Amino acid sequence: MEGRQVVISGGAGALGQVVVQAFVAAGAGVHVPVRGRAPTGGLAGVRYVPGVDLTDESAVAAFYAGLPDGLWASVHVAGGFAMAGLTDTTLAELRAQLDMNLTSAFLCCREAVRRLRLRPGGGRLVNVAARAALQPAGGKTAYTLAKTGVVALTQALADELAGEGILVNAVAPGTIDTAANRAAMPGGEAGRFVPPEEIASVILWLASPENRVGSGAVVPVYGRS
């Protein structure tokens, strides 16, 4: 990945920070859109762009238009989670989950493709789905619908872009070992949660030039979770 330009949405979050570190260690130049202010003490080689609402069409378009030439990959970690059953989920909560998870991925994919088409040689898109999209279960209806949409988006784009050398894949993590998840599930056998570093390594390979033909895959990254 030495010298390759990569976007990582959600790069200031718990999983996103680890993904950013993996790409920087591999030599990539990383661009991270953030909704609020740019974080202080960021990594060298990382360009944080503040004020980017990933559910705002014009904001996402402006962010990608402002990237330097030669974009190679766009990785979409940004999202959100809500635990609620069907009758406890309002329409506003459903729309919020769709916006955070699916709308953000759709807009980033669309604008990334526009930039990738400006250079020869194709590129890579990697989305972050969830185990809930591959193994739907009750209790998180809106989240499951949103992440299932991310899976469908990934597979549809893989087919649409197959002739352009733009490979599109996704990872589907289980419960990630983060401070927030440990606090939310103190009895949840944290030792079985998926280390974010393991998820980042799969994302890095899918986005790398070493992945020459794999497209349309949704890779389960469950560990023992």
Has residue 104 got a pLDDT over 90? yes
Name the residue with higher pLDDT: 119 or 152: 152
pLDDT at 44: 75
Model confidence, pTM: 0.94
Distance of alpha carbon 103 from alpha carbon 60, whole angstroms: 11
Mean pLDDT of 93-110: 98
pLDDT tens digits for 146-171? 999 999 999 999 999 999 999 999 99
Quote the mean pLDDT of the chain. Answer: 93
How many alpha carbons lie under 13 Å from residue 146 in its C-beta half-sphere? 24
CA distances from 188 to 59, 84, 118 (A): 38, 18, 47
Has residue 199 got a pLDDT over 70? yes
pLDDT cut 70: percent of the chain above it: 97
Mean pLDDT of 5-15: 95
Sign of CA dihedral 119, 16, 155, 98: negative
> Looking up tokens 């390759």, which residue turns up?
4
Has residue 184 got a pLDDT over 80? no
Task: Please work out, in degrees rounded to the nearest 5, the angle formed at the alpha carbon of residue 50 by the alpha carbons of 176 and 5.
Answer: 70
Domains of the chain as residue ranges with CATH = 5-221 (3.40.50.720)
pLDDT at 4: 96
Which of 48, 64, 143, 222 does the annotation list as catalytic? 143
48 belongs to the catalytic site: no
Query: pLDDT-based confidence at 209, cuts 50/70/90?
Result: very high
pLDDT at 45: 77
pLDDT tens digits for 38-91? 877 767 779 999 999 999 999 999 999 999 999 999 999 999 999 999 999 999
| Class of residue 175 by CB neighbours under 10 A (exposed 0-12, middle 13-18, buried 19+) | buried
